[in-house]
């Protein structure tokens, strides 16, 4: 399998995001986030660096983060991704697809209000409970409610997922809704397995 730097960087970033939602060690979260940026800045041939064992020499990468890229290149689901997925319930991961909700806010909704699905998030908004949380206000709550509505509409549309979506080892990791940025990542990985064209998908820092 061929993996481009954009897809590899996205994988590392997704792991960092999930670990932050799970409340993992901040140093570990930061290590994956930094590795994502480091891989994204690589100007050389990533595949050649993997094959030659020189990827570890890139500043910002360590053995754990290099292993993620190597596993991706081999067409396997990275162990770090599997662990991060296992630490965050699928319904909680769905919340990350709502505009305005980054890892810190999603963790607050999960841990403080017990929100574990889009439906529960919608009810929490309608009951005006989000305004009780630090960093959430009436305007944010309204924006999130609108985002849930949009997500529901998007979920009812015909799937535009990669036709190999369910066959790739990474795609088997989780069946995230197509409106989530994470599903876009999995589709990008499928695409990268068949072409060297870089993925343009990106994840924004929403609440860091």
CATH number of the domain that residue 121 is part of: 1.10.150.20
Q: Is residue 77 a contact partner of residue 190, using CB atoms and an 8 Å limit?
A: no
Residue 201 lies in a domain: no
- Give Dmax (Cα) for the chain: 57
135 in a structural domain: yes
The answer to whether 44 touches 1, Cβ cutoff 8 Å, is no
Let me know if residue 204 belongs to a domain.
no
Q: What share of the chain is helix, strand, coil (3-state, %, to 5)?
A: 60, 0, 40
Q: Digits of tens for pLDDT over the chain (208 positions)?
A: 678 899 999 999 999 999 999 999 999 999 999 999 999 999 989 999 999 999 999 999 999 999 999 999 999 999 999 999 999 999 999 999 999 999 999 999 999 999 999 999 999 999 999 999 999 999 999 999 999 999 888 775 443 333 333 334 444 443 333 233 444 444 444 433 333 333 333 333 445 4
Is 180 contained in some domain? Answer: yes
Domain that holds residue 114: 90-156
Is 57 part of any domain?
Answer: yes
Kindly state the tokens that stand for 20. 């932050």
Residues 6 or more apart in contact with residue 114 via CB below 8 angstroms: 120
Among 156, 178, 202, residue at a domain's last position: 156
Alpha-carbon dihedral sign for residues 127, 153, 167, 190: negative
Query: Which pTM was predicted?
Result: 0.76
C-alpha–C-alpha distance, residues 136 and 108, integer Å: 10
| Domain count within the chain | 2
> Do both 36 and 83 map to the same domain?
yes
Which bin fits 66, alpha (ψ -120 to 50), beta or left (φ > 0)? alpha
Cα separation, 42 vs 10, in Å, equals 13
Residue 170's domain is classified under what CATH number? 1.10.150.110
């Amino acid at each position: 399998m061929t993996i481009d730097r954009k897809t590899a960087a996205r994988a590392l970033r997704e792991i960092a995001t999930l670990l932050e939602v799970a409340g993992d060690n901040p140093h570990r979260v930061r290590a994956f986030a930094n590795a994502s940026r480091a891989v994204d800045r690589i100007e050389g041939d990533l595949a050649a660096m993997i094959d030659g064992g020189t990827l570890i020499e890139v500043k910002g990468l360590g053995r754990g983060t290099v292993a993620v890229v190597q596993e991706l290149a081999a067409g396997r689901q990275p162990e770090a991704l599997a662990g991060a997925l296992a630490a965050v319930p699928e319904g909680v991961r769905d919340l990350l697809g709502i505009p305005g909700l980054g890892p810190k806010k999603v963790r607050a909704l999960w841990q403080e209000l017990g929100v574990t699905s889009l439906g529960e998030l919608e009810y929490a908004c309608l009951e005006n409970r989000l305004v009780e949380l630090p960093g959430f206000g009436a305007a944010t709550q309204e924006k999130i409610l609108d985002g849930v509505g949009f997500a529901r509409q998007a979920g009812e549309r015909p799937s535009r997922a990669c036709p190999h979506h369910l066959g790739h080892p990474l795609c088997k990791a989780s069946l995230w809704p197509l409106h989530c940025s994470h599903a876009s990542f999995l589709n990008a990985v499928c695409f990268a397995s068949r072409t060297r064209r870089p993925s343009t998908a990106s994840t924004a820092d929403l609440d860091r």
